[in-house]
Amino acid sequence: MNRRDVLRLGTLGAIPALASGGALAQMMGGGGGMMGRTISASLAWPTGQPLRPFDVLANRSADADTFAATLVAAPFRASLVPGASTELWGYGGAVPGPMIELVEGQRVAIEFDNRLSIDSTVHWHGLPVPPDQDGGPMDPVAPGTARRYEFTIPAGSAGTYWYHPHAHQTTTLQVAHGLAGPIIVHGANDPLAALDDVTLMVSTLTLDAAGQVATPSLAMGGMAMSTGGEVLVNGRKQPVHVAAPGATQRWRLLNATADRYLRLSLDGHRFAVVATDGGLLPRPLANLAEWLLAPGQRVEIVVTLATTRAARYVLRDLGYGGGMGAGSGVALMTVQATNEAPKAPVALPALLRPLEDLGPPAFRREVVLSGGMMGSFLIDGRSFDMDRVDLETTVGRVELWDLVNTTMMDHPIHVHGTQFQVVGRSSAVPVAPFDGTAWFDVVNVPAGGTVTIKTRQMAPGKRMVHCHILPHEDAGMMAVLEVRA
Ligand code: C2O
Ligand code: CU
Ligand code: CU
């Protein structure tokens, strides 16, 4: 098998892509088609394969100021578990999709080719792209058609982002089949550029007894914090990441799961957080034992591995129930130290970058999350309607939003088009750093708690505000924010 096949398909090799109308129709059939099928725990998922490096989406522009590429979304088949050929939906024939590597200041033109049998979009999660390029549910791309997304990457936005579909009421279905991929924006002056740079995209995949993708039902998404499934890193279950003893590495962790909180911890190690959703912190947050990463969020950590040769450590999700019990932990990845002589540790710079002060707020509002019973997920008492405007602001106005969660479960709230600062919270549940010194585009709002964010929009148009537990989003926990010039 050549390297490309390994990258694309994980374990057991390629089977040519098949047309998928039948399976899709079956999944979409009946009452919105989101009911889960029987899930079998007995499928033998292989573990211990090498950590899969990402394919990089090729830039066909000769000019360094421009990134031009085509991104194809299509069904394909892969052998993930013995005895089954699983239909996945992927970008570029891979799950997760290829890494899109961009540079601050670049003009980006990506042709999206929808070869799925339903409407889709590409949303550039976390990037401040213009509203009409944001891939929201108002701008569906019909099956068998293509559209071009064009935007410019502003200075100061270096960081770790991701792309995924955002089609009306089928985001869960599409992400559950594998449609998502990482975006890395490089900055001109990256103070950590000398470190090994490893991207770890965490996703879940749930297969039924026949080895086919089972999509989480709204009922399951509503009643439990996690709809289960296998937790994968770069598309593989508990892969092995090989590194030299003593190595200092930058790990970019993405929570691309539909609904699973990740309470990250590495056995026997402490780490520094150096970046959140919107890029570098002003200074490293050192000596942490764990970090809670909500669905949709990213975190960059710097870890210096112990100097013992040939040792193994496990990167874990310790488990977090999101207001609904303790949650259960899971091993994510094994770190395997080589037998080489230990590397000398690399000291982190004390200062990473200055953080912009948004200045005093000119407006304050409450945004209330309610419902939480089966099928009822509301923002300010209403279920999503793309033809209605729920929140209004003006370009450049700095606002405080009190995100008030009246439900019995946590909701990770995401605002499109901008990065915000978390400036207050009512509860002891960790949403750190909550002192305004980091950029986020998703913040966890704990059950019964309030989180205050300071936010601002810089482009006129309509933006989505929603819960990033995808079954909640599809069920209506999403609002339209209209930004006026
Ligand atoms: Cu990552 Cu509106 O989504
Ligand atoms: Cu988004
Ligand atoms: Cu939610």
Distances in whole angstroms, Cα of residue 152 to Cα of each of 216, 293, 388, 415, 455: 35, 28, 29, 19, 21
Confidence of residue 372 (pLDDT cuts 50, 70, 90): confident
Q: How many angstroms separate the CA atoms of 318 and 291, rounded? A: 10
Q: In this predicted structure, what is the pLDDT of residue 429?
A: 61
Indicate which residue's Cα is closest to atom 1 of ligand 1: 125
Q: Sheet containing 330-337: which strands, arranged edge to edge?
A: 240-243, 330-337, 312-317, 262-266, 291-293
Nearest residue to 354 (alpha-carbon basis) of 294, 424, 260, 282: 282
| Average predicted confidence (pLDDT) for the chain | 89
Confidence of residue 226 (pLDDT cuts 50, 70, 90): low
Q: In this predicted structure, what is the pLDDT of residue 434?
A: 67
User: How far apart are the CA of 261 and the centre of ligand 1, in A?
Assistant: 16
Parallel, antiparallel, or unpaired: how do β-strands 478-484 and 461-467 relate? antiparallel
CB of 463 within 6 A of ligand 1: the answer is: no
Query: What does the block give as tokens for 19?
Result: 């047309």
Find the ligand nearest to 473 CA: 3
CB of 125 within 6 A of ligand 1: the answer is: yes
Q: How many angstroms separate the CA atoms of 420 and 458, rounded? A: 12
Q: In this predicted structure, what is the pLDDT of residue 15?
A: 30
Q: How many angstroms separate the CA atoms of 147 and 189, rounded? A: 33
Using the structure block, give the residue that is written with the tokens 């080719």. 113
Rounded to the nearest 10°, the torsion over CA 27, 29, 34, 38 is: -60
CB of 466 within 6 A of ligand 1: the answer is: yes
Distances in whole angstroms, Cα of residue 228 to Cα of each of 23, 126, 231, 295, 398: 22, 26, 8, 14, 39
Three-state SS at 398: coil
- The mean pLDDT value for 438-446 works out to 96
Find the ligand nearest to 413 CA: 3
CB of 416 within 6 A of ligand 1: the answer is: yes
Indicate which residue's Cα is closest to atom 3 of ligand 1: 125
- The mean pLDDT value for 85-102 works out to 98
- The mean pLDDT value for 201-221 works out to 82
User: How far apart are the CA of 172 and the centre of ligand 3, in A?
Assistant: 13
pTM of the predicted model as reported, rounded to 2 decimal places: 0.91
User: How far apart are the CA of 123 and the centre of ligand 1, in A?
Assistant: 7
Whether residue 25 is predicted with pLDDT greater than 70 in this model: the reply is: no
Assign 3-class secondary structure to 72-110: EEEEEEECCCCCCCEEEEEECCECCCCEEEEECCCEEEE
CB of 295 within 6 A of ligand 1: the answer is: no
Distances in whole angstroms, Cα of residue 484 to Cα of each of 367, 380, 462, 479: 19, 21, 9, 16
SS3 content of the chain, % helix, strand, coil (to 5): 5, 40, 50
Three-state SS at 472: helix
Q: In this predicted structure, what is the pLDDT of residue 229?
A: 87
26 bridge partner residues:
none
- The pair phi, psi for residue 171, each rounded to 5°, is -60, -45
Taking the CA of residue 125 as reference, the ligand 1 atom at the shortest distance is: 1
271 bridge partner residues:
288
Three-state SS at 333: strand
Confidence of residue 37 (pLDDT cuts 50, 70, 90): very low
186 bridge partner residues:
103
Q: What residue type is assigned to position 455 of the chain?
A: T
CA dihedral for 180, 182, 185, 191, sign (positive or negative): positive
Whether residue 140 is predicted with pLDDT greater than 80 in this model: the reply is: yes
Q: In this predicted structure, what is the pLDDT of residue 294?
A: 96
Q: In this predicted structure, what is the pLDDT of residue 433?
A: 64
Using the structure block, give the residue that is written with the tokens 């990402």. 54
User: How far apart are the CA of 114 and the centre of ligand 3, in A?
Assistant: 28
Taking the CA of residue 442 as reference, the ligand 1 atom at the shortest distance is: 1
Taking the CA of residue 466 as reference, the ligand 1 atom at the shortest distance is: 2
CB of 298 within 6 A of ligand 1: the answer is: no
Using the structure block, give the residue that is written with the tokens 């959703």. 277
H/E stretch holding 411 = strand 411-415
Query: What does the block give as tokens for 172?
Result: 């869960």
The model's pLDDT over 388-438, given as tens digits with 9 standing for 90+, comes to: 999 999 999 999 999 999 999 999 999 999 999 999 988 766 556 667 789
Got the DSSP string for 232-267? EETTEES-EEEE-TT-EEEEEEEE--SS--EEEEET
112 DSSP 8-state letter: E
Q: Ligand 3 being an ion, which residues bring their Cβ within 5 A of it?
A: 411, 467, 469, 472
Confidence of residue 23 (pLDDT cuts 50, 70, 90): very low
